[in-house]
Amino acid sequence: MNKFITCDIGKKETYVFVPETNNHYVISNEDFIQLNIPELNGQDIIIEDAHIRAQEDNSLAQSWTIEQLKQLRSCADSMNIEILCFPQKVTPKARKIASIGLREYLLAKSDPNDIESIAFYLQEFPEAYDALKIFDPVEYKTFEKKVSHIYVDRDALTEDSNGARNQQYGIKTDYSDAVVEWIKKYLFKLASELDSDTREWAGIELNKNNSGLKDGLKKYTSSKLKFIYGVINTLIVPSTGDLRVRSDINKVPYWKYAKKVYFGLTPYHMHAGVTASNYKYHKRKAGSSCKKSMSLESKNAVKNLDDVREIREAMKESDRHLRDLWRTARKMIVEDGLL
């Protein structure tokens, strides 16, 4: 099991929780910078990523300058300690899970509750621990330059997605573009390349003898084509028919980039554009075999940790199908040259 402590940094003091002993501490920020932390003995340190970025202007979320953060990194290196960043947008979910698995009062937002809930979440779901980012102190302008192409690519995709949505993706209309034409021409071949589970998940239905598409797909009248359009749109620019390439290297991305930038499958970015939203909040939920909900107000609200695990496994299964669908489409379009 991973050994770690969790921390939450304020303007003047740092809250600390040690899962091994269940102890809470409050120390000064100066002590934290020097890693003078009670019970710290080689464990990893987990901090919300928003609180460990360099201070910019009058930000209330960041307490330290880039020089102080570099000092922290140096001190951690000298002590052979790893500092990991927890995505702050996941903290409310961690509190929900801790309120179910530990004590109901942990649902309330507070610094002590946050760090205890994060610890419980990471202990119960070690795969989330493995996905944490390593702390790397950089100035915001340096970070912004490093990731600027991501926002360029995501904005371009969103603009194309919005344009197609305004035209109902060509479904039951006279509108057409390069993505629509590709789907009309190659959807059956794409279906033939997919395994039956992924094909069923994607909503690509074949006729009784599997010799062609069902009429709604074949005649381009089915609402299920909206999702297919979104996937192919990440590979083909609808207005030109050109391959959609990364703006930084001018090459078609692979799945690792697509899942992060186009589909937003990362806990560190909640707002990843129209394509990501359509997938995560519509397709992934609507197509899930699990109808339980993380919303505690829902009639289908989770009641225990097994329910939470069921939701997480259903999400992973959906993401695996999306990966297989996208990779198959990419192979057809990029490697086989079916444009």
Triad 304, 50, 311: Cα angle to 5°: 25
The number of domains in the chain is 2
Q: Are residues 64 and 212 in the same domain?
A: no
Q: Are residues 184 and 258 in the same domain?
A: yes
Length in residues, the chain: 339
Strand, helix or coil for residue 65: coil
Outline where DSSP puts E strands in the chain: 4-9, 13-18, 23-28, 44-48, 83-86, 133-134
Q: Are residues 94 and 229 in the same domain?
A: no
Q: Are residues 102 and 153 in the same domain?
A: no
Is 92's pLDDT higher than 60?
yes
pLDDT bracket for residue 292 (50, 70, 90): confident
Alpha carbon 157 to chain centroid, angstroms: 17
Q: Are residues 126 and 208 in the same domain?
A: no
User: At a CB cut-off of 8 Å and minimum separation 6, what does 84 contact?
Assistant: 4, 44, 45, 46, 47, 129, 132, 133, 134, 135
**Domain with 121 in it:** 4-138
pLDDT at res. 155: 94
Q: Are residues 203 and 223 in the same domain?
A: yes
Q: Which of 93, 117, 138 is the last residue of a domain?
A: 138
Q: Are residues 103 and 45 in the same domain?
A: yes
Q: Closest by alpha carbon to 100, among 310, 313, 307?
A: 307
Q: Are residues 300 and 162 in the same domain?
A: yes
Task: Tell me the pLDDT tens digit for each residue of 165-213.
Answer: 999 999 999 999 999 999 999 999 999 999 999 999 999 999 988 889 9
pLDDT at res. 21: 96
Secondary structure tally for the chain: helices H, strands E: 14, 6
User: At a CB cut-off of 8 Å and minimum separation 6, what does 13 contact?
Assistant: 26, 27, 28, 29
pLDDT at res. 129: 96
Q: Are residues 187 and 224 in the same domain?
A: yes
Q: Which of 138, 158, 179 is the last residue of a domain?
A: 138
Over residues 86-112, mean pLDDT: 91
